[in-house]
Amino acid sequence: MRETLEKIRESALEQIQSVGASLEQIRIRYLGKKGELTAVLRGMGALSAEERPKIGELANQVRADIEEAIAAKQRQKEALALEKRLKEEKLDVTMPGTPVAAGHLHPLTQVQRQLEDIFIGMGFSIEEGPEVELDYYNFQALNIPKNHPARDTQDTFYITDSILLRSQTSPVQVRAMEHRKPPIRIISPGRVYRSDALDATHSPLFHQLEGLVVDRGITMGDLKGTLEIFAKKMFGENTRIRFRPHHFPFTEPSAEVDVSCYVCGGKGCRICKGEGWIEILGAGMVHPFVLSNCGIDPEVYSGFAFGMGIERVAMKAYSIDDIRLFYENDERFLEQF
C-alpha cells in the first residue's frame, strides 16, 4: 500500500506539471470521491493496527502534496495568462478618448430659463404654487365666479367640485397677493392643464409664465415698457410690440399683445401669415375686484399682469409649427437644440 501511494503521488505530480493539463480533471481522478487515493484509503481497514497510522499519515501527506501542486500550477497558469494579456493589450495614452454623448436641456426648459433670466434681470422673483388647485384660486378669486361664461372656454380637468388641475398659473399670483404686502413683482412659470384635443397647436398639458406687479402708481405705461424690454431681449433689439383691446375677467383694461415678426420685420411672410405681427401673450391692469379679494386696497395700489404660453414662445423663437414635437422625445428633433 505504501508503494501504491508513492506511485499515486508521482503520477499525479507528473501530470500536473505537463503542458495543457486539466487541473480539475486531475483533482477528480486522484482526490475525488471515486479517485485513486480515495480507493486506497478505503482499503486501510485490512491493515494491522501498527501499519494503519503510518499509512494514514503517508496518505494525508500525498493528498497535501497533490493539492499544493494543483494550487501552485493554477497560480502559474494565471500569472502566464496575465503576462500574455498585458503584452497583447497596448494602451496608447496619446490617443483621444472615446467621445461621450452628453445630454442637454429640453428646448422648453431652455426657453423657460431664458424667460426667467429676462424678468429676473428686471427685478422680478420666481414664485411657484400647486398644480392641483382649489376652484377658488383658479377661478373665483380671479373674478370668474361659478356659471361665468369664461369657465366654458377653460375646459378644466376637475377632480371634485372644488378641486381641479390648474388651467393657468394665475392662482400663484393670488396666493402671493394674499401673503405679501406690496410692492410685489413676481413671475410664476409652470405646468397647466386644459381638456383640449391634441393637435398641432393645442395640448392638454402645456406651460405658462405669468407676471404680476403691484405697487403704488402702476400704470399701463409700466406694463408696456416691461413687455417692450422682454420682446427685445427675447426676439431681438428691432422687435416692436402692439396692444389690441381684449377682455379678461381678471384685468381691466385688457389687451392682446403682438410682436413684430422676427423673420420679416413686419413686412409679412409665411411665419406671420402675411400680417407682420405675431400674437404672443395677454396682459392688462389687475382688476380692482381681484386686488380686493386678496386684501389689497385698490384705492391705494394698482398693478399689471401678463401671461404667455412657453410653448408658443418657443415655437415662434425656433420656427416650429407643431407643438407635439416638444413631447414626442424624438432625438432627431431634440438634438437640434
pLDDT at residue 145 greater than cutoff 90: no
CA-CA distance, 262 to 237, in Å (whole number)? 10
In terms of residues, how long is the chain?
A: 337
| E strands, the chain, in order | 125-126, 132-134, 157-158, 163-165, 184-193, 205-215, 241-248, 251-260, 277-286, 302-309
Q: What percent of the chain has pLDDT over 70?
A: 92
Q: Does domain 107-334 have CATH number 3.30.930.10?
A: yes
pLDDT at residue 172 greater than cutoff 90: yes
Q: Name the pairing type of β-strands 125-126 and 184-193.
A: parallel
- Residues 186-206: pLDDT tens digits? 999 999 998 888 888 788 999
CA-CA distance, 247 to 273, in Å (whole number)? 24
- Residues 213-248: pLDDT tens digits? 999 999 999 999 999 999 999 888 888 899 999 999
Banded model confidence at residue 154, pLDDT cuts 50, 70, 90? low
Q: What is the pLDDT of residue 58?
A: 74
Task: Give the HSE-up count for residue 106: Cα atoms under 13 Å, Cβ half-sphere.
Answer: 11
Range with the poorest average pLDDT among 20-24, 79-83, 150-154, 316-320:
150-154
Q: Is 279 exposed, middle or buried (0-12, 13-18, 19+ CB in 10 A)?
A: middle
Q: What is the pLDDT of residue 153?
A: 58
Pick 146 or 303 by higher pLDDT: 303
Query: Quick one: how far is CA 182 from the chain centroid?
Result: 36
Q: What would the DSSP string read from start to end of 52-107?
A: HHHHHHHHHHHHHHHHHHHHHHHHHHHHHHHHHHHHH----TTSPPPP-------H
Read off the DSSP letter of residue 183: P
Average pLDDT over residues 72-96: 83
For CATH 3.30.930.10, the residue range(s) in the chain are 107-334
Q: What is the pLDDT of residue 107?
A: 92
